[in-house]
Amino acid sequence: MAARRQWRKVDGVLLLNKPHGFTSNDALQVVRRAYSGKKAGHGGTLDPLATGLLPVAFGAATRFLHDLVEAEKVYTATVRLGWRSSTGDGEGELTAEPSYAGGLPDQEKIDHVIKAFTGPISQRPPMYSALKFQGRPLYEYARAGIHIDRPAREVTVHELTIESASPEVLVLRVRCSKGTYIRVLAEDIGDALGTGAYLSDLRRDAVGRFDLTQAIDLARIQAAAPADRQAELDELPPLLPVDAMVRELPEVALDERCAQRFTNGQGIDLTAVSSMSARMAAASDTEQRWRVYGEGRFLGLARQQEHMLNPLRVLPVTHES
């Protein structure tokens, strides 16, 4: 009989390469069990069809997942022309587009369509999505044959380029804001081209400052931590530190007195700390966020508001091993 799992206080970040066929939560639970982490979360849902970068945060690092959810994303999207899908992707019922004769539109039309879908655009969330209506995800209504009116919302496609093109398939690189549905983008591009289209494959290449080249395959974690036994932490890939998700922010180091105030949730008067005030006064953003350290330890995030440095997210003073 297998020994009962002992959940640990684990803090840090794992960059996971999610394979086909796993929901984001499925992959999260595999990783959580492998590390026996008491608390874990992921930074942005990927459909089972999709592969690629899924940041997983443990323990104290979960406090900073919001930054990853809000961050821009980069995808490689494979768009099949001449067909439509009931779900917008390869998991739905496929029907051929009768008006499509099989020829790729001319380059001028393609360039026009790509330009039209670059920048702020309006999207209507798909029925087959986890977006909730009256407490239930939309896909439950869709499976029951119930149509829900979804208001369009604005997202931003910062960059849209064609990696390759044929009469059957477009491969697109998409750099976009949070909340962008790549399935909808694929369908809308197909409509604009007059070919019809659906998303046949999707890979997430980057989330904020993290990219897929840094990620660890789920199979590697499963091999190090078989389901029938609890792994030792030194058998598993090491985690990135808790502050890895906010490294793009400027940092400030506090002395012992100020660090104590910060960890107690108290603001710090910058005019009373000459070593900090000059540097922070030079910040162009009066609402600048800062990574805060004290005695060599990451303490959390603060927001600069006029002459005050106010705690935004504060880590516990002590961590269990």
> Of 145, 151, 127, whose CA–CA distance to 137 is shortest?
127
Q: Are 303 and 297 in contact (CB under 8 A)?
A: no
Query: ∠132-135-138 over CA atoms, to 5°?
Result: 35
Is 269 assigned a catalytic role? Answer: no
Beta bridge partners of 58: 12, 40
Q: Are 53 and 13 in contact (CB under 8 A)?
A: no
- Active-site residue (options: 11, 47, 67, 243): 47
Three-state DSSP class for 17? Answer: strand
Q: Are 12 and 239 in contact (CB under 8 A)?
A: yes
Query: Residue 119 to residues 74, 151, 158, 187, 192: CA-CA distances in angstroms?
Result: 14, 19, 6, 17, 16
Q: Are 172 and 161 in contact (CB under 8 A)?
A: yes
> Of 120, 117, 124, 132, whose CA–CA distance to 45 is shortest?
132
> Of 180, 233, 226, whose CA–CA distance to 59 is shortest?
233
Residue 153, Cβ density class (10 Å: 0-12 exposed, 13-18 middle, ≥19 buried): exposed
Q: Say how far apart CA 157 and CA 102 lie, in whole Å.
A: 28
Q: Could you give the residue numbers annotated as active site?
A: 47
